[in-house]
Amino acid sequence: MGEESLGVRSMCLKVDASGTVFILDPGASLAPRRFGLPPHPIEIEAIKEFRKRLNESLKEAEYIFISHYHRDHYTPVYKSVYMGTEGENIYKKKKVLAKDYNNANYSQKVRGYMLEKDAKNLSADWVFADGKSFKIGDIKVKVSIPIPHGKEGSKTGFIIGISIKQKGFTLTYIPDVQGPLSKKAVKFAKETKPDMLVIGGFPYYLLGYAFGDEDLELSRRFLVEIAKEIKPETLIIGHHLLRSTDWRKAIPEGLNFKTYSEIIGKNENILEAKRKELYENTKPPPEYYKIFKKDKTDE
């Protein structure tokens, strides 16, 4: 439903297991600054469209999964132009499988605590799901132990992945592992043996800054290992990977994979990566920039 190839920062995914609907990471955001520029009006429209899609899917959803507390992976209960929110509470009457914020860095502890405080009482159920397994009718759900958000020892904390199995078909979702760059992410993929694997790709746009060539090569080796040993029918890579126009350079040669946009038959629409170009083509009027003042997301 939402992802960089669809114009927003997100990995939001709808999973329909024969009528039991899960929404994985129901959030999206726009980078407050990229190339020294705030989101372009076209990006604002993209996140509004994402919110429409999410709200429609939430009408069917029974379960919500939250892998971690970065604001492109969950929806806080406050208004934000960067997230396209109006202060709505999307968790009402939903069963929430959430990352335990007690095992997180400081900023995510605060966000997780505030989300639980704002939303738990209105939910149908609220479970810290790290490392747990569940059976829902004929659906088997397995949640990973905490996995580093990128490299081992990452200052950005941990995420949890989820595997959903029904009628001999398994989907495994491991967001924000940035490559992957952790053996724990590869281990969870191997344990769940997915037919469809959705995984967060390498942040190629940060190569030479937060990441080095050795990190890029490690991510490539892990992707090849996953492809050879697990052999998923469908491998979907996205998110951080698609924040630059030359992102395909990060992918091992010959690897068979798809993006979110390809899965749903749409053209790639990497708006953040093209923000500078968007401004060059259409410069907003001076009054446009007022919409970003005093937004809680602009940190």
Cα three-residue angle 114-46-85, rounded to 5 degrees: 25
To which H or E segment does residue 146 belong? none
The yes-or-no verdict on residue 46 having pLDDT over 70 is yes
Q: Which fold has domain 4-286?
A: Metallo-beta-lactamase; Chain A (3.60.15)
Q: Taking the domains of the chain in order of start, what are their residue ranges?
A: 4-286
The yes-or-no verdict on residue 298 having pLDDT over 80 is no
Q: What is the mean pLDDT of residues 250-267?
A: 96
> How remote is the C-alpha of 115 from its chain's centroid?
17
Report the DSSP beta bridge partners of residue 24: 13, 65
Q: What is the mean pLDDT of residues 131-141?
A: 97
What confidence tens digit (pLDDT) does each residue in 65-113 have?
A: 999 999 999 999 999 999 999 999 999 999 999 999 998 999 999 999 9
8 A C-beta contact, residue 224 and residue 255: yes
- The rounded distance, in Å, linking the Cα atoms of 234 and 257 is 7
- Ramachandran category for residue 150: left, alpha or beta (phi over 0 → left; psi -120 to 50 → alpha): left
**Structure tokens belonging to residue 123:** 């939910």
Per-residue confidence at 178, pLDDT binned at 50, 70, 90? Answer: very high
Report the DSSP beta bridge partners of residue 237: 199
pLDDT score at 8: 98
What confidence tens digit (pLDDT) does each residue in 208-247 have?
A: 999 999 999 999 999 999 999 999 999 999 999 999 999 9
Per-residue confidence at 153, pLDDT binned at 50, 70, 90? Answer: confident
The yes-or-no verdict on residue 25 having pLDDT over 80 is yes
pLDDT score at 299: 43
Per-residue confidence at 155, pLDDT binned at 50, 70, 90? Answer: confident
Q: What is the mean pLDDT of residues 157-182?
A: 97
